[in-house]
Amino acid sequence: DTGVSQDPRHKITKRGQNVTFRCDPISEHNRLYWYRQTLGQGPEFLTYFQNEAQLEKSRLLSDRFSAERPKGSFSTLEIQRTEQGDSAMYLCASSSVQGANYGYTFGSGTRLTVV
């Protein structure tokens, strides 16, 4: 098991472009989370999935953001019409249903820079 994988590690995009990030969770984990972290701040919750169902979305997730987990395995986070304020580290985490007892495993993150 290689842990939680995120791709790409870095993304530089021009304002107004669309970007998509991928997260591959630990295989036996059925819960998957997306967080966003800006410089000097703690990670902020964006959304989470249990299997393929998206169960909660934060107010931070504007209409320009969409996340999917089509087969309950990997997930994608898409940002449309990127803005400079979207520049951040996007972190993915996974856990099992009993995950609270073992913690949440985070991926290495995707650092997005919007220029």
Tell me which residues touch another protein (CB under 8 A).
31, 33, 35, 40-45, 48, 50, 55-56, 91, 100-109, 111
- Minimal distance in Å, beta carbon 46 to another protein? 10
One-letter amino acid for residue 43 of the chain: P
* Strands of 5-7's sheet in order across: 5-7, 19-24, 75-79, 65-68
φ/ψ (deg, to 5) at 100: -60, -30
Q: Is 34 within 8 Å of 17 (Cβ atoms)?
A: no
Indicate the SS3 state at residue 8: coil
For residues 17 and 113, which CB has a smaller minimum distance to another protein in the complex? 113
One-letter amino acid for residue 54 of the chain: Q
- Minimal distance in Å, beta carbon 66 to another protein? 19
- Minimal distance in Å, beta carbon 88 to another protein? 13
For residues 17 and 102, which CB has a smaller minimum distance to another protein in the complex? 102
For residues 22 and 111, which CB has a smaller minimum distance to another protein in the complex? 111
